[in-house]
Amino acid sequence: MPDQTRVDLSKYRLQKASEALTSAKREYDAGDYATANNRAYYCIFHTLRAVLALDGEDFKKHSAVIARFTLNYLKTEIIPRDYSKLIFNASLIRNRSDYEDFYLCSVTDTEELISGASAFLAEIQRYLEARYLSEI
Protein backbone atom coordinates (compact mmCIF):
# COMPACT_ATOMS: atom_id res chain seq x y z
CA MET A 1 0.00 0.00 0.00
CA PRO A 2 1.44 3.40 -0.97
CA ASP A 3 2.29 6.00 1.62
CA GLN A 4 -0.18 8.86 1.26
CA THR A 5 1.91 10.97 3.65
CA ARG A 6 4.82 10.90 1.19
CA VAL A 7 2.54 11.92 -1.66
CA ASP A 8 1.09 14.77 0.40
CA LEU A 9 4.56 15.96 1.40
CA SER A 10 5.70 15.84 -2.21
CA LYS A 11 2.71 17.91 -3.33
CA TYR A 12 3.34 20.42 -0.55
CA ARG A 13 6.96 20.82 -1.61
CA LEU A 14 5.93 21.19 -5.23
CA GLN A 15 3.57 23.99 -4.19
CA LYS A 16 6.43 25.70 -2.33
CA ALA A 17 8.52 25.44 -5.49
CA SER A 18 5.78 27.06 -7.53
CA GLU A 19 5.43 29.88 -5.00
CA ALA A 20 9.21 30.46 -5.06
CA LEU A 21 9.11 30.72 -8.86
CA THR A 22 6.30 33.26 -8.70
CA SER A 23 8.34 35.23 -6.19
CA ALA A 24 11.46 35.03 -8.41
CA LYS A 25 9.54 36.52 -11.33
CA ARG A 26 8.08 39.26 -9.14
CA GLU A 27 11.50 40.18 -7.73
CA TYR A 28 13.04 40.16 -11.20
CA ASP A 29 10.33 42.54 -12.45
CA ALA A 30 11.07 44.80 -9.46
CA GLY A 31 14.78 44.85 -10.34
CA ASP A 32 15.88 42.91 -7.25
CA TYR A 33 18.06 40.37 -9.05
CA ALA A 34 19.82 38.96 -5.99
CA THR A 35 16.48 38.04 -4.43
CA ALA A 36 15.21 36.74 -7.77
CA ASN A 37 18.26 34.43 -7.92
CA ASN A 38 17.56 33.22 -4.39
CA ARG A 39 13.90 32.50 -5.13
CA ALA A 40 14.70 30.75 -8.44
CA TYR A 41 17.20 28.54 -6.63
CA TYR A 42 14.62 27.68 -3.97
CA CYS A 43 12.14 26.77 -6.70
CA ILE A 44 14.66 24.22 -7.93
CA PHE A 45 15.58 23.07 -4.42
CA HIS A 46 11.97 22.48 -3.32
CA THR A 47 11.35 20.69 -6.62
CA LEU A 48 14.23 18.31 -5.88
CA ARG A 49 12.86 17.69 -2.40
CA ALA A 50 9.37 17.01 -3.84
CA VAL A 51 10.79 14.13 -5.85
CA LEU A 52 12.88 12.77 -2.98
CA ALA A 53 9.85 12.88 -0.66
CA LEU A 54 8.28 10.03 -2.62
CA ASP A 55 11.41 8.00 -1.98
CA GLY A 56 11.16 8.72 1.74
CA GLU A 57 14.44 10.64 1.65
CA ASP A 58 15.40 14.04 3.00
CA PHE A 59 18.65 15.66 4.01
CA LYS A 60 19.66 18.63 6.15
CA LYS A 61 22.31 19.89 3.74
CA HIS A 62 21.44 21.34 0.37
CA SER A 63 24.46 19.63 -1.15
CA ALA A 64 23.17 16.24 0.01
CA VAL A 65 19.75 16.86 -1.57
CA ILE A 66 21.43 17.81 -4.85
CA ALA A 67 23.81 14.83 -4.71
CA ARG A 68 21.04 12.30 -4.07
CA PHE A 69 18.79 13.71 -6.79
CA THR A 70 21.72 13.69 -9.21
CA LEU A 71 22.58 10.10 -8.37
CA ASN A 72 19.02 8.74 -8.43
CA TYR A 73 17.43 10.78 -11.23
CA LEU A 74 19.97 12.54 -13.45
CA LYS A 75 22.68 9.91 -13.76
CA THR A 76 20.01 7.29 -14.40
CA GLU A 77 18.37 9.69 -16.90
CA ILE A 78 14.95 9.31 -15.31
CA ILE A 79 15.07 13.11 -15.52
CA PRO A 80 17.11 14.56 -18.41
CA ARG A 81 20.75 14.87 -17.44
CA ASP A 82 20.90 18.34 -18.98
CA TYR A 83 19.33 19.71 -15.80
CA SER A 84 22.50 19.00 -13.82
CA LYS A 85 24.11 22.18 -15.18
CA LEU A 86 21.07 24.25 -14.19
CA ILE A 87 21.06 22.83 -10.66
CA PHE A 88 24.79 23.40 -10.21
CA ASN A 89 24.63 26.96 -11.58
CA ALA A 90 21.58 27.81 -9.49
CA SER A 91 23.34 26.68 -6.33
CA LEU A 92 26.48 28.62 -7.21
CA ILE A 93 24.61 31.82 -8.11
CA ARG A 94 22.42 31.62 -5.02
CA ASN A 95 25.40 31.16 -2.72
CA ARG A 96 27.32 33.99 -4.33
CA SER A 97 24.27 36.31 -4.37
CA ASP A 98 23.47 35.57 -0.75
CA TYR A 99 26.92 35.47 0.82
CA GLU A 100 29.52 37.33 -1.24
CA ASP A 101 29.96 41.03 -0.73
CA PHE A 102 29.62 43.02 -3.94
CA TYR A 103 28.65 40.02 -6.08
CA LEU A 104 26.61 41.12 -9.07
CA CYS A 105 24.93 38.52 -11.21
CA SER A 106 24.24 39.62 -14.77
CA VAL A 107 20.65 40.28 -15.76
CA THR A 108 21.07 37.65 -18.46
CA ASP A 109 22.19 35.03 -15.92
CA THR A 110 19.20 35.86 -13.73
CA GLU A 111 16.84 35.58 -16.70
CA GLU A 112 18.36 32.22 -17.62
CA LEU A 113 18.11 30.99 -14.04
CA ILE A 114 14.42 31.89 -13.80
CA SER A 115 13.70 30.40 -17.22
CA GLY A 116 15.57 27.22 -16.28
CA ALA A 117 13.76 26.96 -12.96
CA SER A 118 10.44 27.29 -14.76
CA ALA A 119 11.34 24.56 -17.27
CA PHE A 120 12.64 22.28 -14.53
CA LEU A 121 9.50 22.73 -12.44
CA ALA A 122 7.33 21.90 -15.45
CA GLU A 123 9.42 18.79 -16.21
CA ILE A 124 9.16 17.56 -12.63
CA GLN A 125 5.44 18.35 -12.42
CA ARG A 126 4.85 16.06 -15.42
CA TYR A 127 7.03 13.36 -13.88
CA LEU A 128 5.34 13.59 -10.48
CA GLU A 129 1.79 13.62 -11.87
CA ALA A 130 2.49 10.26 -13.48
CA ARG A 131 4.20 9.00 -10.36
CA TYR A 132 1.39 10.14 -8.03
CA LEU A 133 -1.05 8.05 -10.03
CA SER A 134 1.12 4.98 -9.51
CA GLU A 135 1.67 5.76 -5.81
CA ILE A 136 -1.98 6.12 -4.83
CB within 8 Å of 113: residues ≥ 6 apart: 24, 36, 37, 40, 41, 86, 89, 90, 93
Distance CA 19, CA 116 (A): 15
Per-residue pLDDT tens over the stretch 79-136: 999 999 999 999 999 999 889 989 988 999 999 999 999 999 999 999 999 988 776 5
The enclosing domain of 103 has a CATH number of 1.20.120.330
Domain total in the chain: 1
Mean pLDDT of 67-83: 97
Residue 88 belongs to what domain range?
4-135
R_g (Cα) of the chain, nearest Å: 15
* Span 23-64, pLDDT tens digits: 999 999 999 999 999 999 999 999 999 999 999 999 999 999
